[in-house]
Amino acid sequence: MSEKNYTGASMKRHMGLQASRRIGNTAAYIVLTLISIIWLIPFVCILLQSFRVESTWQVGYVIPQQWGLDNYRNLWNTDFPKWYMNTLVMALVTAVLQTVIVLCMSYTLSRFRFKGRTFLMRFMLILGMFPGMLTMIILYRVLKDLGMTQANSVPGLILVYIASSGMGYYVSKGFFDTIPKSLDEAARIDGATRFQVLKKIILPLSKPIVIYTVLTAFMGPWGDYVFARYISFGTSAGMNVAVGMYNWLNKDQIASYYTMFCAGGVLVALPVTLLFLWLQKYYVEGVTGGAVKG
Amino acid sequence: MAEVKLTNVKKIYDHNVVAVHDFNLTIRDQEFVVFVGPSGCGKSTTLRMIAGLEDISEGTLEIDGEVVNDLQPKDRDIAMVFQNYALYPHMTVFDNIAFSLRLKKTPEDEVYERVTRAAEILGITEYLMRKPRALSGGQRQRVAIGRAIVRDPKVFLMDEPLSNLDAKLRNQMRAEIILLRQKMNTTFVYVTHDQTEAMTLGDRIVIMQNGYIEQVGTPEEVFDRPRNLFVAGFIGSPQMNFFQAALERDGDGYAVSLHGHRVRLEGDRAELLKKHGAAPAQIVLGVRPEHLTICDGSDPDAIDGEIRVNEMMGSELHLHVRCGDDKNIILRVPTIELSQEKRESLKTGAHVRFTFSSKVAQIFDPKTENSLLWD
Amino acid sequence: MKRYSDLEYLKLSKGKRIGYRLASFFASIPTALKNGLLAVWHFLQNLGAGIGREISDLVTTFREGDVPTRVSYVIMGFGNLCRGQILRGLLFLLFEAVFIFYMVIAGGYWIQMLPSLGLQGPTKELDPILDVYVTTYHDNSFKILLYGVLTIFFILAFIYTWRLNIKQNRIAMKILKSGKKLKSGKDDLRSLVDDQFHKTLLALPLTGIIIFTVLPIVFMILVAFTNYDGTHDGYNNNLFSWVGLQNFNTMLSWKGSGGQSYAATFGEILSWTLIWAFFATFTNYFLGMLVAMLINKKGIRLKKMWRTILVVTIAIPQFISLLYVSKMFAQNGILNLFLLNMGWIDKALPFWEDPTWARVTVILINIWIGIPYLMLITTGILMNIPADLYESSRIDGANAWQQYTKITLPYMLFVTGPYLLTSFTSNMNNFNVIYLLTGGAPTNPAASSAAGTVGYTDLLITWLFKITMGAESQYYLASVVGILVFVVVAVISLVVYGAMPSIKNEEDFQ
């Protein structure tokens, strides 16, 4: 085709692909940059304000006029270290026990066809429709009788976190479902008991889901507010970071604790975020698989 | 090295879905038996019941004289090769093959000995340190077989082991299975949907449909004397042709007439019909494509048909022909016997005249679909 | 409504087709509900039939049984012991002993007290010597209800075990008759890691679920029929007792006592809860998908960096980000102060003070919270859409927008249908976002005569929390709200699940 045959419309058709993609990409970069800024701003603010020394109030600017570690130092004079330890212990223990329970449940539901299996799954689905918070009223009183509330709330909260964790089996069951059943069958014919199948075949293949489960279980206690609030019931020594620091932002405390909240927030977020970034790949796999399986 | 005996074995799933009805079969020691049938016919279910991967709803299963219904797969002394190979992805080829031996706490020396011997038989020695994902389909298949033979089991089960391979590899592996079988003194049960595999591998073939056994017999038997329409159509490729025909008396013998032509039955066909005292009736006449022969236009007994499709297969020509209501009759004509001139005359739309030998004709009752040549 | 055949339907105009489909969706709701109820009914029927079968089986087993079998009806495990299954026999026997012991020592009392929930509350008597009032505690309604329920569970477990014990006799007789051997205790133990391995695996998780979820939920459902609250805590001040359906009457009656009725308050909160759940789910879903598509766009570099920036925000515990952002938007928060300093506004913006502002702000902040998560989920699924679908649609002449609406969106909705449903219901119960952001504020003065202080952004779940934490701790009311939340969630799930294409045509996109 020769040059002079190009009409306006056909010009547009011919330059189309490349040029329009370039325009589109530039727009996309602008939007992505904007998004990144919006998403990161609050965290940058927290970080910067945690170093602000000149006032503990909220202020109308982001960059401190006077830098220092006062806020971090002051944390030591509060119950913060206690809350931090509480949360850390709970997170570690929960990560281990919850993983064991979730894996037991999901592996069983994925691999065994026993009487009552569908009933069990439906039953748990229906149970899940009740607001979990409701159970706290009774659990608080029972745990209180057992001496596992208030100042001594760590074991009580661990129990609360892990006891019903079997109901969160969906994601890992979805993962196990993708491991071909014929592997189990081959191993059983090769002479393995069901336990050996789990130990020698399935678990070595389940690294991603084990890590995902550990990671989510570990993150749980750091973000929990409701259960910790019920079980610690106003006793500072038994609080986790969320309940403890929540009170700092009360109307009557915020003036003196605002920047300390930021400092505490940085200390809490740091280890969790680093761990998360390190294991990001597994988290993404778990989340994606879980959503598709429903 | 064992006899496998299934007596009245049934498989009933939830909601009373019956997958296998009353399965009775004795597989002799060191026999190679093939279960064949279309998908959903119950062949795999039966194999899995022998393996212990499915519960047996009713009936008994004996291996080597012992009832094993309630035994776990691991206690039945069987080995199995799966359709998708089921290799353990996190183990090397060596570990895959050694897995069952190690579970039995076999000394490492002996494990090494037996695994390398099995690998040698299958020609996979150089891959022993690889993981399954680094192997090709054919190699994986060999590892799967290696995992089974290393145990020296009483019964060797194979569930469509070749269906994930491409056509060329499949032929090659089929030959290797025949060789392997000669080296091993084991009872084989082999499941496939491919009648060629069944014919080439089996000492006996069990043809199944909808959970029922349709026929059990040697390859020759099921090919030459199919018990019913289903078996006749399933075994042989291209499929057997079926004509609407009538069975008539012809003196003291019989004849069939179709499309205005009449062919006298000769040989054992006539004798068998006579023995059973068959009465004249509408029948389905079955003739294999290779038994239809093209003849000159002058033959008075010839059947006339219109060529609809002409498939050149190289060594032979497949002609799809319409004869009245029988719309898809296939003729298999060896090209070597055709002159150039004749070959060109067999074009789409042309007419062709053919006949068949009554010695190889199959006769079926259209209602019961059973062969009239059987008891 | 008129049903069209396939060919008739294809002849309709586009608008009519949509109308027809909407109409058939709504017409299907009653059927879906009916089917749900039918399923429950069938379940009950089967249960009844099952119990009938069990009883007749019990009778025949007794009639045809040998002596050890018959003795087993009274002494559990006797049959097992006689036939050499020592381990099983002892376990049965032990269980029976424990049960009888428990019922005599404690269970009997709890069951007996269950109908009244305690006869005598704490009493105060003047101690003549010290001349002070001394409180003596008597019955404990809370414990009676709790242990009463537990005892009922225990009785059911006992009946089940007793039945199992008899069934085993029957099976054992059959096995012995056919000349086979019974399983020994060693076999039983071995089977716990083999063919019965699932029982071993489930033991721990199920125990946890029964004790920490099933039991509390049964308890709390029962509480809805009592007057358990801060002033009737069952032990320290007053007993509580059964009140029948009174609490449901209170919650669902339109008659208010001095202010708005509970039903009106409940209705207001429920409608906001549904609006919130709808926006929270779908804004996140579509914007998350959009961001994922932006990052996945051909020719965009540093994909991993963009993704990581967003993903980091998932890692940071929500209470930090939510509380901090909540303060950012406060009257004297950094945002308002900044805008005031710059002179762009002359009065702080009422983010949390005006009902509409507050509702919009929580939805916007929820987008900020939710997008990274949705971006992750949708990225995975978007990449799974077969590329040839796009290629063939381009050859058919579709532009980018048409590709999105005709291929991407249907595929996504199909695959994520069940996820959207669960996401909707969990947003209904999204306590963290609402409570940490606003605590329910701004206060709704009309509704606040009801228990707890009710605000414009309160969800049912935060209201429930406030009721239990409030001065009067009206637990019975919290239970009623909890039960109603369950009913709403269950009905929505049932209807949507029934109408969902992923359930109906499982194979469409495979």
CA distance A209 to B93: 25
Domain ends where: B177, B198, B227? Answer: B227
Same domain, B171 and B58: yes
Domain ends where: C216, C244, C272? Answer: C244
Same domain, C217 and C287: no
Residue numbers of the domain that contains B122: 4-227
ipTM summary value: 0.86
Count Cβ atoms below 10 Å from residue B309 Cβ, excluding itself: 12
Question: With bands split at pLDDT 50, 70 and 90, how would you rate the model's confidence at B297?
Answer: low
Domain ends where: B193, B227, B261? Answer: B227
Q: What does the CA dihedral B165, B168, B170, B172 come to, rounded to 10 degrees?
A: -130
Answer with the residue of higher pLDDT: B145 or B302: B145
Whether B108 shows a pLDDT value over 90: the answer reads: yes
CA distance C293 to C296: 5
Same domain, A18 and A122: no
pLDDT score at C247: 87
Cβ–Cβ below 8 Å for C299 and A265: no
Say if C179 falls within a structural domain. yes
Same domain, B185 and B59: yes
Same domain, B166 and B266: no
Q: Are strands B261-264 and B253-258 parallel, antiparallel or unpaired?
A: antiparallel
Say if A35 falls within a structural domain. yes
Question: With bands split at pLDDT 50, 70 and 90, how would you rate the model's confidence at C302?
Answer: confident
Interval C244-289: pLDDT, tens = 888 888 888 877 655 678 888 888 899 999 999 999 999 999 999 9
Same domain, B78 and B198: yes
Say if B375 falls within a structural domain. no
Say if C484 falls within a structural domain. yes
Question: Amino acid identity, residue B201?
Answer: L
Cβ–Cβ below 8 Å for C425 and A129: yes
Mean pLDDT, range B160-169, rounded to an integer: 88
- With CA atoms as reference, the chain C residue closest to A171 would be C419
- Strand ranges for chain B from DSSP E: 4-12, 18-27, 32-36, 58-63, 66-67, 78-81, 155-159, 187-192, 204-209, 212-217, 241-250, 253-258, 261-264, 281-287, 292-294, 303-312, 316-323, 326-334, 351-356, 362-364
Say if C56 falls within a structural domain. no
Say if B373 falls within a structural domain. no
Whether C102 shows a pLDDT value over 90: the answer reads: yes
Phi-psi region of B14 (alpha: psi -120 to 50; beta: other; left: phi over 0): beta
Burial class (CB in 10 A: 0-12, 13-18, 19+), C335: middle
Question: With bands split at pLDDT 50, 70 and 90, how would you rate the model's confidence at B254?
Answer: confident
Q: Which residues of C touch A40 (CB under 8 A)?
A: 309, 313
Whether C29 shows a pLDDT value over 50: the answer reads: yes
Radius of gyration over every alpha carbon of chain C, rounded to an integer in angstroms? 31
Count Cβ atoms below 10 Å from residue C45 Cβ, excluding itself: 11
Domain ends where: C183, C217, C244? Answer: C244
Same domain, C305 and C225: no
Same domain, C417 and C480: yes
Same domain, A224 and A180: yes
Same domain, B311 and B208: no
Taking alpha carbons only, the member of A199, A167, A170, A189 closest to residue A110 is A170
Say if B374 falls within a structural domain. no
Q: What does the CA dihedral B224, B227, B230, B234 come to, rounded to 10 degrees?
A: -30
Same domain, B11 and B154: yes
Domain ends where: B227, B249, B277? Answer: B227
Say if B232 falls within a structural domain. no
Total domains, chain C: 3
Same domain, A148 and A277: yes
Q: Which residues of B touch A187 (CB under 8 A)?
A: 88, 99
pLDDT score at C500: 67
CA distance C365 to C363: 6
Same domain, B222 and B260: no
Same domain, B267 and B208: no
According to DSSP, the residues that pair with B304 across neighbouring strands are B353
Of the partner residues C223, C419, C490, the one whose CB lies closest to the CB of residue A294: C419
Q: How many Å is the maximal CA-CA distance in chain B?
A: 79
Say if A17 falls within a structural domain. yes
Same domain, C15 and C117: no
CATH number at residue B317: 2.40.50.140
Of the partner residues A180, A182, A192, the one whose CB lies closest to the CB of residue B74: A192
Same domain, A183 and A283: yes
Domain ends where: C210, C244, C278? Answer: C244
Same domain, B167 and B36: yes
Whether A171 shows a pLDDT value over 80: the answer reads: yes
Task: Find out whether B103 and A192 touch, Cβ atoms under 8 Å.
Answer: yes
Same domain, A15 and A83: no
Same domain, B107 and B64: yes
Say if B81 falls within a structural domain. yes
Say if C294 falls within a structural domain. yes
What lies within 8 Å, CB to CB, of C101 at 6+ separation is none
Residue numbers of the domain that contains A27: 3-49
Concatenate the DSSP letters of all residues of B163-204 into one string.
Answer: TTS-HHHHHHHHHHHHHHHHH---EEEEEES-HHHHHHH-SE
Instruction: Look at C21-30, C156-165, C335-344 and tell me which has the smallest mean pLDDT.
Output: C21-30
Same domain, C341 and C408: yes
Task: Find out whether B235 and B249 touch, Cβ atoms under 8 Å.
Answer: no
Tokens, residue B3? 């006899």
Give the distance from residue C193's alpha carbon to the nearest chain A alpha carbon, in angstroms.
5
Helix, strand, coil shares of chain C, percent, nearest 5, are 70, 5, 25
Give the distance from residue A108's alpha carbon to the nearest chain B alpha carbon, in angstroms.
17
Radius of gyration over every alpha carbon of chain A, rounded to an integer in angstroms? 26
Same domain, B21 and B150: yes
Same domain, C233 and C364: no
Question: With bands split at pLDDT 50, 70 and 90, how would you rate the model's confidence at A14?
Answer: low
Whether C507 shows a pLDDT value over 50: the answer reads: no
Say if C237 falls within a structural domain. yes
Same domain, C237 and C274: no
Say if C60 falls within a structural domain. no
Task: Find out whether A82 and A65 touch, Cβ atoms under 8 Å.
Answer: no
Same domain, C83 and C39: no
Instruction: Look at A183-187, A201-205, B204-208, C414-418 and tell me which has the smallest mean pLDDT.
Output: C414-418
What lies within 8 Å, CB to CB, of A80 at 6+ separation is A241, A244, A245, A260, A264
Taking CA atoms, B362 is separated from A40, A202, B92, B228, in Å, by 82, 54, 53, 9
Residue numbers of the domain that contains C477: 262-504
Of the partner residues B74, B83, B104, the one whose CB lies closest to the CB of residue A188: B74
CA distance B348 to B317: 13
Same domain, C280 and C326: yes
Taking alpha carbons only, the member of C70, C49, C67 closest to residue C58 is C70
Mean pLDDT, range B207-220, rounded to an integer: 93
Best of A190, A198, A200 to mutate (most B CBs within 10 Å, chain B):
A190
- Half-sphere exposure of residue C125, counting CA atoms within 13 Å on the CB side? 8
Say if C424 falls within a structural domain. yes
Say if A63 falls within a structural domain. no
Same domain, A31 and A174: no
Q: Give yes or no for A183 touching B (CB within 8 A).
A: yes
Say if A57 falls within a structural domain. no
Q: Strand, helix or coil at C172?
A: helix
Same domain, C266 and C240: no
Best of B15, B71, B74 to mutate (most A CBs within 10 Å, chain A):
B74
Taking alpha carbons only, the member of A286, A153, A126, A145 closest to residue A217 is A286
Q: Which residues of C touch A105 (CB under 8 A)?
A: 201-202, 205
Whether B164 shows a pLDDT value over 70: the answer reads: yes
What lies within 8 Å, CB to CB, of C68 at 6+ separation is C78, C79, C81, C82, C83, C169
Total domains, chain B: 2
Most confident of A88-97, B265-274, C4-13: A88-97
Percent of chain C with pLDDT over 70: 95
Taking CA atoms, B344 is separated from A48, B317, B347, C6, C402, in Å, by 90, 12, 6, 48, 52
Cβ–Cβ below 8 Å for A134 and C377: no
Of the partner residues B52, B80, B90, the one whose CB lies closest to the CB of residue A204: B90
pLDDT score at B203: 93
- Count of A-C CB contacts under 8 Å: 259
Whether C202 shows a pLDDT value over 80: the answer reads: yes
Task: Find out whether C371 and C288 touch, Cβ atoms under 8 Å.
Answer: yes
CATH number at residue B51: 3.40.50.300
Q: Are strands B326-334 and C123-127 parallel, antiparallel or unpaired?
A: unpaired
Taking alpha carbons only, the member of C167, C190, C486 closest to residue A193 is C190
Answer with the residue of higher pLDDT: C438 or C6: C438
Same domain, C76 and C38: no
Place of tokens 């209501």: B325
Interval A260-292: pLDDT, tens = 889 999 999 988 888 888 888 888 877 776 655
Q: Strand, helix or coil at C164?
A: helix
Interval C368-377: pLDDT, tens = 989 998 888 8
- Strand ranges for C114-156 from DSSP E: 123-127, 132-136
Say if C25 falls within a structural domain. yes
CA distance C439 to C322: 11
Of the partner residues B83, B88, B151, the one whose CB lies closest to the CB of residue A201: B88
CATH number at residue A158: 1.10.3720.10
Taking alpha carbons only, the member of B94, B75, B72, B83 closest to residue B147 is B94
Whether C201 shows a pLDDT value over 50: the answer reads: yes
Task: Find out whether A104 and A199 touch, Cβ atoms under 8 Å.
Answer: no
Say if A56 falls within a structural domain. no
Task: Find out whether B354 and B250 touch, Cβ atoms under 8 Å.
Answer: no
Same domain, B181 and B256: no
CA distance C142 to C119: 13
Same domain, A98 and A20: no
Total domains, chain A: 2
Interval C54-90: pLDDT, tens = 889 888 888 888 888 888 888 888 888 888 888 888 9
Same domain, A287 and A234: yes
Say if A64 falls within a structural domain. no
Give the distance from residue A177's alpha carbon to the nearest chain C alpha carbon, in angstroms.
16
Q: What does the CA dihedral B255, B259, B261, B263 come to, rounded to 10 degrees?
A: -30
Same domain, C190 and C307: no
